[in-house]
């Protein structure tokens, strides 16, 4: 293995007098703050909520604790990298373990598939449960590895909006791997060619939801996503997902980043096409550089008062959102693991509801995360469980969500009762709910879109907003609504790209 190149975003420059203001303490904002502080900038983070993390936050209800948002942890090296750059021992802040099973899948006909992270065990399980030849599994995962190693790393870890990216030495390998079928075929079509089992087509189609997209429209290029789970692995952060936020905030504060909570940014102040600061609670905070970690649409619409640019962003289709029930149950269910999926019987119809009719679907795919499984007694009392129950939902377009919650809950419980063979409702002893409208309000994600824009077009990756403004000097962007997209790993890569552009004065 060659020597790791020095990260330009952490090289000390004569930046000690430069003030950086980061709007939003989401995971991308925190990571950007760490990188820029290590590069010598004075960094201040403004957050409208009373807590950091954005979607990556937590809460308690009685004796039960819940991670509020993201529940899947992959690519821990992006977090480790921040501690390496800061020359801090990560073990003093954060620890995690590799999980042997990525997810347990339940189908209506009674089939239960344990998706092992060991490829041989995975191939054996899939062959036993579906009859799929093992060589099909190996071939598919090798293809996903090639795609990610040549295309994913190139396009996800660099700006697509800088001319010099086109002259990087590894672009030829990326272009050679980007065969027409990965661009012009849909994920579903590619998966139908890859597998004989319709159950496996559905299982791998699910990965489109990892960036809020439709597998019947999104390009086959997204078939690289399973590589992250099956070739690298899935992990569990001890203490739950909130431990990621807590660790990074602690690191940022130790290095000198300041956080201001319960503070609403009202306007980004621009003079002579350059940012000079922000208006916060009627007071101006001076800044040489501003990084927005809120949705790009909201940044233009409300902070820059630029309706035209805001409208242009809305030309891109929004990603899906979610309705989440947080249930405390007074019983433990041995057939469930950390991650569980109960599949819809008609997957295509479910995505038609998500992206076309934008209505409640009566047979939703249900995801259940239970952090009480790896840490009994920590997140729920012994022999009880904390269920994070999520179904995909359309982006918020003024639907009457709280009027629809009865239908969502009814459909979820009926499906779970059917498949688990037990009435679960009497075991629910506490409940909280999150709708797309709530997500928009709490996390400044326009329309409650979990991943900003969808990847339902061939050019979606190139249409995402860049990590910088081309018209306003020293204005930058990070987070799920800009390149390279949403989800913890991509947000951390977004922070790396943005910090590198700033530190190198590109």
DSSP assignment of 131-169 equals ---HHHHHHHHHHHHHHIIIIIHHHHSS-TT-GGGGG-T
Please check whether residue 289 is in contact with residue 20, taking contact to mean a CB–CB distance below 8 angstroms.
Answer: yes
Helix (H, G, I), strand (E, B) or coil at 341: strand
Q: What's CA 164's distance to the chain center, in Å?
A: 28
Count CA atoms closer than 13 A to 423's CA, side-chain side. 2
Is the pTM higher than 0.85? The answer reads yes
Contact between 47 and 317 (Cβ < 8 Å): no
Confidence of residue 2 (pLDDT cuts 50, 70, 90): very low
Return d(Cα 68, Cα 326) in angstroms, integer.
8
Residue 299 exposure: Cα atoms within 13 Å on the Cβ side: 27
d(CA 234, CA 227): 11
Burial environment of residue 146 by CB neighbours within 10 A (0 to 12, 13 to 18, 19 or more):
middle
Q: Which of 62, 106, 181, 491 is nearest to 333 (CA)?
A: 106
Q: How confident is the model at residue 4, as a pLDDT?
A: 44
| Cα separation, 412 vs 364, whole angstroms | 7
Report how far residue 242's alpha carbon sits from residue 375's, in angstroms, rounded to the nearest whole number. 14
Least confident range of 7-11, 252-256, 412-416: 7-11
CA distance 43 to 16: 10
Give the pLDDT confidence score for residue 56 in this predicted structure.
97
Domains of the chain: 14-56+239-316+466-503 (3.50.50.60), 118-232 (no CATH), 320-443 (no CATH)
Residue the block writes with tokens 């809950």: 409
Question: What does the pLDDT read at residue 8?
Answer: 46
User: Using one digit for the tens of pLDDT, what is the confidence trace for 133-187?
Assistant: 999 999 999 999 999 888 777 677 766 655 565 555 665 565 556 667 888 899 9
Residue 67 has pLDDT above 70, yes or no: yes
| Helix 488-503 × helix 77-85 angle, to 10° | 30
DSSP letters spanning 355-415: III----SS--EEEE-TTTTSTTTSS-TT-EEEEEEEEEPPPSS--HHHHHHHHHHHHHHH
- Between CA 229 and CA 145 the distance in angstroms is 11
* Backbone angles phi and psi of 161, in degrees to 5: -115, 15
Q: How many CB atoms lie within 10 A of CB 35?
A: 28
Q: What is the pLDDT of residues 284-335, one digit of tens each?
A: 999 999 999 999 999 999 999 999 999 999 888 999 999 999 999 999 999 9
Runs of H (alpha helix) within 392-487: 401-420, 436-443, 460-463
pLDDT in tens, 96-124: 999 999 999 999 999 999 999 999 999 99
Phi, psi for 8 (deg, rounded to 5): -65, -20
According to the model, what pLDDT value does residue 174 have? 57
């Amino acid at each position: 293995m060659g020597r790791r190149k020095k990260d330009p975003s952490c090289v000390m420059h004569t930046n000690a007098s430069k003030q950086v203001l980061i709007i939003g303490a989401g995971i991308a904002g925190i990571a950007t703050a760490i990188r820029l502080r290590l590069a010598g900038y004075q960094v201040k983070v403004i957050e409208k909520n009373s807590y950091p993390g954005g979607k990556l936050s937590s809460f308690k209800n009685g004796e039960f604790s819940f991670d509020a948002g993201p529940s899947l942890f992959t690519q821990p090296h992006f977090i480790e990298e921040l501690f390496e750059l800061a020359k801090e021992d990560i073990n003093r802040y954060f620890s995690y373990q590799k999980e042997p099973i990525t997810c347990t899948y339940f189908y209506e006909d009674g089939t239960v598939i344990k998706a092992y992270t060991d490829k041989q065990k995975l191939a054996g399980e899939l062959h036993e449960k579906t009859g799929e030849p093992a060589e099909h599994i190996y071939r598919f995962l090798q293809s996903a590895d090639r795609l990610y190693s040549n295309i994913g790393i190139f396009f996800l870890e660099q700006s697509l909006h800088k001319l010099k990216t086109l002259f990087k030495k590894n672009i030829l390998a990326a272009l050679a791997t980007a065969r027409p079928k990965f661009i012009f075929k849909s994920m579903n079509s590619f998966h139908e060619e890859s597998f004989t089992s319709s159950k496996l087509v559905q299982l791998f189609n699910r990965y489109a939801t990892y960036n809020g997209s439709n597998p019947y429209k999104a390009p086959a290029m997204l078939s690289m996503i399973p590589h992250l789970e099956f070739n690298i692995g899935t992990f569990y952060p001890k203490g739950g997902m909130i431990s990621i936020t807590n660790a990074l905030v602690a690191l940022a504060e130790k290095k000198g980043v300041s956080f201001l909570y319960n503070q609403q940014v009202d306007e980004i102040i621009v003079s002579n096409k350059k940012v000079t600061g922000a208006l916060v609670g009627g007071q101006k905070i001076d800044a040489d550089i501003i990084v927005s970690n809120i949705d790009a649409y909201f940044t233009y619409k409300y902070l820059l008062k630029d309706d035209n640019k805001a409208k242009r962003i809305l030309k891109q289709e929004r990603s899906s959102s979610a309705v989440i029930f947080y249930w405390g149950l007074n019983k433990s269910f041995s057939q469930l693991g950390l991650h569980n999926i109960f599949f819809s019987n008609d997957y295509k119809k479910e995505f038609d509801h998500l992206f076309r009719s934008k209505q409640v679907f009566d047979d939703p795919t249900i995801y259940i995360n239970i952090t009480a499984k790896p840490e009994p007694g920590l997140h729920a009392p012994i022999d009880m469980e904390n269920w994070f129950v999520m179904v995909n939902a359309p982006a918020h377009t003024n639907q009457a969500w709280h009027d629809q919650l009865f239908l969502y809950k009814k459909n979820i419980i009926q499906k779970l009762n059917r498949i688990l063979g037990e009435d679960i409702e009497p075991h629910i002893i506490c409940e909280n709910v999150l709708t797309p409208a709530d997500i928009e309000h709490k996390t400044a994600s326009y329309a409650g879109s979990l991943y900003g824009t969808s990847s339902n077009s061939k050019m979606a990756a190139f249409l995402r907003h860049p990590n910088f403004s081309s018209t306003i000097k020293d204005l930058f962007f990070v987070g799920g609504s800009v390149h390279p997209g949403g989800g913890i790993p991509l947000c951390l890569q977004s922070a790396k790209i943005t910090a590198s552009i700033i530190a190198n004065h590109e």
